Homo-oligomer: A and B are copies of this chain.
């Protein structure tokens, strides 16, 4: 394997059919690009899924935060740079920077927190035990990520059930879990055309609490924190379990267009 730099830089296209009615990339598709960049970066450095699967380990996304000054428009080519900010025994922090490939203009930044688990036991695994902590040699301290660390999403008593949805074939990823970006899509679907005509998403924070599975029913609860800030709590209900269990929490901050 050739020597790799600490920072990975990947080119993406804001595909026309991945853009919303305002002609800007959907936040869900941007999230997918970030997950791809993370995956490519880790695989290229031999601590990605490709290697981990051979030792019965996998990465699990715990937090994802994205803050955008501007969303790429249809047909824009943009870079996602990604790097490991730090690594501890059970968690690692990975950051993202999104820039226009032509002008270098910064669209925004992202932060994420990942855990490692043993696929057989589903228990946390020691990240630093993999290849004698080789991931630590890739920690980058030069790049800056000038956005807040993942925001805590408090679930208050004013949460109101907004929608209950069933999960289907298209929601499920290769692990049989509901795809991480599908929660974002389902959450953003809570707002109507009128809202999106006057607002765009400034920042989204997602805390992934527990995996949900194909066939689970998702209950979406919403709480308004301020005019433009909302907390969402998604509970999952399996067919074989009576009580709903929290699967993820999301905080969304909108800004006026």
Q: Which residue on B lies nearest to A73, using beta carbons?
A: B174
**What's the minimum C-beta distance from A13 to chain B, rounded to whole angstroms?**
8
- B21 and A176: CB pair below 8 A? yes
Q: Is A20 an interface residue (CB 8 A)?
A: yes
- A36 and B15: CB pair below 8 A? yes
8 contacts between A and B (CB under 8 A): A15-B32, A20-B172, A21-B172, A23-B174, A169-B188, A169-B191, A169-B193, A170-B188
Q: Which B residues touch A168, using CB under 8 A?
A: 189
Q: Is A214 an interface residue (CB 8 A)?
A: yes
- B173 and A19: CB pair below 8 A? yes
**What's the minimum C-beta distance from A76 to chain B, rounded to whole angstroms?**
13
Q: Which B residues touch A186, using CB under 8 A?
A: 170
- A16 and B36: CB pair below 8 A? yes
Q: Which residue on B lies nearest to A36, using beta carbons?
A: B15
- Interface bracket on A: 35 or more
Q: Which B residues touch A22, using CB under 8 A?
A: 174
Known contacts A15-B32, A17-B35, A176-B21; decide if A169 and B181 are in contact (CB<8 Å). Answer: no
What string of 1s and 0s marks CB contacts (under 8 Å) between A75-100 and chain B?
A: 00000000000000000000000000
Q: Which B residues touch A21, using CB under 8 A?
A: 172-176, 214
Per assembly, the copies of the chain total 2
- B215 and A174: CB pair below 8 A? no
Most chain B CB neighbours (cut-off 10 Å) among A32, A169, A188: A169
**What's the minimum C-beta distance from A114 to chain B, rounded to whole angstroms?**
15
Q: Which B residues touch A15, using CB under 8 A?
A: 32, 36
Q: Is A148 an interface residue (CB 8 A)?
A: no
Q: Which B residues touch A28, using CB under 8 A?
A: 170
Q: Which B residues touch A215, using CB under 8 A?
A: 192-193
Within 8 A of B (CB), among A188-212: 188-189, 191-193, 196
- Give Cα distance in the complex from A81 to B74, angstroms: 22
Q: Which B residues touch A32, using CB under 8 A?
A: 15, 17-18
Known contacts A35-B17, A36-B15, A181-B17; decide if A196 and B174 are in contact (CB<8 Å). Answer: no
Q: Is A39 an interface residue (CB 8 A)?
A: yes
Q: Is A109 an interface residue (CB 8 A)?
A: no
| Interface pairs A-B: 6 shortest CB-CB | A168-B189, A170-B185, A23-B174, A21-B176, A169-B189, A193-B214
